[in-house]
Structure formats: C-alpha cells, structure tokens
Amino acid sequence: MRSAMRIGELSRRTGVPARMLRYYEEQDLLHPERAANGYRLYDAPAVYRVQQIRGLLDSGLTTEIIRRILPYLDQPDEIHPHPDCLTAEVAALLREEAERIQRRIDCLSRNRDAIHAYLAAVQRAGAVR
Amino acid sequence: MRSAMRIGELSRRTGVPARMLRYYEEQDLLHPERAANGYRLYDAPAVYRVQQIRGLLDSGLTTEIIRRILPYLDQPDEIHPHPDCLTAEVAALLREEAERIQRRIDCLSRNRDAIHAYLAAVQRAGAVR
DNA sequence: TCAAACCTTCACATCAATGTGAAGGCAATC
DNA sequence: GATTGCCTTCACATTGATGTGAAGGTTTGA
C-alpha cells in the first residue's frame, strides 16, 4: 500500500487546517486509517473528498446533509455501495436534496447574471474609471 | 403612499421570522421606514428583497457579502444607482464575487448531477423497492 | 373598556463551523 | 540525546445566524 499521508500533508494539499480535518472526521465525513502510533493516515482520494466537503460547506450545506449524501457522490458511477440496499425513503431524500441544491443553483445563477448585467450596463455607459 | 406593511405581515408573506427581519436590518440589509410610533414600515418590494436575502444566505453567502452586492442586484436593469460612481475597485469586487458565486454553482451542479446519476443507475437496476 | 394581537428594545441562549492553546507522545536529524 | 516538527486529545473561545423571553407600549375589535 502506497501513498498514505498524514494529516499535515493532507492539510497542505487541500489548504484546509488540520483542526478542520479532525472536525470533519468527528462529523463522520472522513474516515482515515490509523497508524500503529495513532496517527491518522489518509489515502490519495481523500484530497478530492476534502475538496468536495469544502465546496459543499461553502455552498451552505451542513455537515449533517453532507454526511447523508456524500456516500452517493463517490465519483465512479460504476461501483455504488449496494444499490439494492437503497430504500424508497433514501431515494426520496436524495431527490429532495437534489431539489434543494437546484434551488440554490437557481438563486445563485440569477444573482450572478444580475451582477454581470450590471457590470455590462456600466461598461456600456463607459462609467468605470 | 399605499401598501406599507408592518413587520408581522412581511414575516407572514416571506415566512421569515420577525426576529430575523430585525436582524437583517441591524446588518444593514433592510432599511424600513418608521411610523410615528416607531413601528417598522416596509414597502411591497421588501418581500422580494427578503426572499433574495434568504436565498443568498441559504447559498452560503454571509450578510457582509450580501450587503456589498445587494445594491447592484435591484431588478430593474434600468435604474442603477449612479453607475458613474462605480469605482474600478467596486467593479473588481463585483467580478470577484460573481466568480465565487460561479464556483459555488459549479460545485452544486456537479453534486446535483452525481445524485441524479446515482438515482438513475439505481432505477435502471430496478433496485428501489 | 378590556382583551388579544401586535409592536418595541434589550438581553441572554443556542448551534454549527472554526480558532487557539495546553500538555504530551513520536520521528527525524544533527 | 537534545532539538525540532509533527502528531495526539482535551477544552475552551469566537463568530454568524438564529431562538427565546421579559417588560412594556400600540392597535384593533368585541
């Protein structure tokens, strides 16, 4: 097994304070191995996973929601964890969460557009100096 | 002047607790008139404005950022508040914020897609019961 | 005129995410 | 083998967004 890193390196690679990586673990978002001496050991995909978590947190999702949907977000659309154990309730929950996310996207898109429209209008007026 | 409402009605119309409407005012996001007796008086567009604020807060923006960009998000692309007073710094700030918003959108879109892909895969497998 | 429903300010509590520091063990290097 | 840097846990502080309640004035309608 190669490419295991400790918390410091993961922190450097992701820009996320080690303190937060421990917090995410406490929140059940990360599950690093442990070395014989108790040090946390992360595998390479953890980098991606942390970025994922950061992005979702920054986008206003709570750790609780992230914990719920994270298991279903693992890249490889191939290997799901037993899709047969997916109850109708979980499916409904995922659909609901996808909708909530969509609402956020719509809201942010509208505002991005408004900002761009404003900037364009100003520029057209040649008013920026 | 017609259609001024007090905080209770605005709260009912938006679903936002009165407590929060006062908080948004404290944060300089709302600026209601005051009646002779000190009651807050909101005009009709306040409903839209509050929804705007809620959406942005839910999407992970802070009141501080919202305060900064809100003035430039007022619907009518016509009547900007003196676009000539827009300094290059403010324009840069807006562009930056639009970019941050775009990053959030990208992140959320990816995850929405992942959820949908998962649901589709599960459904294809006929695994939901 | 009284009650109920509304409003005001002030203050303290909570919750999630994050910062920070102490006290101590482990690892590599000189 | 001592210094330096990284790691551990524990614990308390802070910040932003909220909840909640007290104490008191206002509006409305029976």
C11 C1' to A107 CA distance, Å: 35
User: How far away is chain A from the Cα of B35, in angstroms, using its nearest Cα?
Assistant: 32
Neighbour-count burial of B110, counting CB atoms closer than 10 A to its CB (0-12 exposed, 13-18 middle, 19+ buried)? middle
Whether residue B117 is predicted with pLDDT greater than 60 in this model: the reply is yes
Residue at shortest CA–C1' distance from C26: A37
Name the nearest CA neighbour of A63 among A89, A93, A26, A105.
A26
Whether residue B111 is predicted with pLDDT greater than 60 in this model: the reply is yes
Asked if B41 and B5 touch (Cβ cutoff 8 Å), the reply is yes
In the block, which residue shows the tokens 């693992």?
Answer: A74
pLDDT band for position B124 (50/70/90)? confident
- Asked if B73 lies within 8 A of A101 by C-beta distance, the reply is no
Euclidean distance between CA atoms A62 and A29, whole angstroms: 11
D21 C1' to B124 CA distance, Å: 54
The list of chain A residues with pLDDT below 70 reads: 1-2, 75-85, 127-129
Share of chain B above pLDDT 90, in %: 73
Neighbour-count burial of A126, counting CB atoms closer than 10 A to its CB (0-12 exposed, 13-18 middle, 19+ buried)? exposed
Euclidean distance between CA atoms B59 and B97, whole angstroms: 13
The full length of chain B comes to 129
Of A57, A80, A107, the CB nearest to B56: A107
**How wide is the angle at C-alpha A50 spanned by C-alphas A48 and A56, nearest 5°?**
105
Cross-strand bridge partners of residue A40: A34
- Asked if A77 lies within 8 A of B127 by C-beta distance, the reply is no
A71 sits within 7 Å of strand C by its CB? no
**Helix/strand/coil percent split, chain A, to 5:** 65, 5, 35
Q: Does B107 touch chain A (CB under 8 A)?
A: yes
- Pick the more confident residue, B113 or B84: B113
Euclidean distance between CA atoms B45 and B70, whole angstroms: 14
Tens of pLDDT, residues B45-100: 999 999 999 999 999 999 999 999 999 987 555 555 555 567 888 899 999 999 99
| pLDDT score of A3 | 77
| pLDDT score of B70 | 94
| pLDDT score of A125 | 77
- pTM for the whole thing? 0.89
A62 sits within 7 Å of strand C by its CB? yes
In the block, which residue shows the tokens 């995850």?
Answer: B111
Chain B partners within 8 Å of A58 (Cβ): 60, 104, 107
| pLDDT score of B80 | 55
B101 sits within 7 Å of strand C by its CB? no
A51 sits within 7 Å of strand C by its CB? no
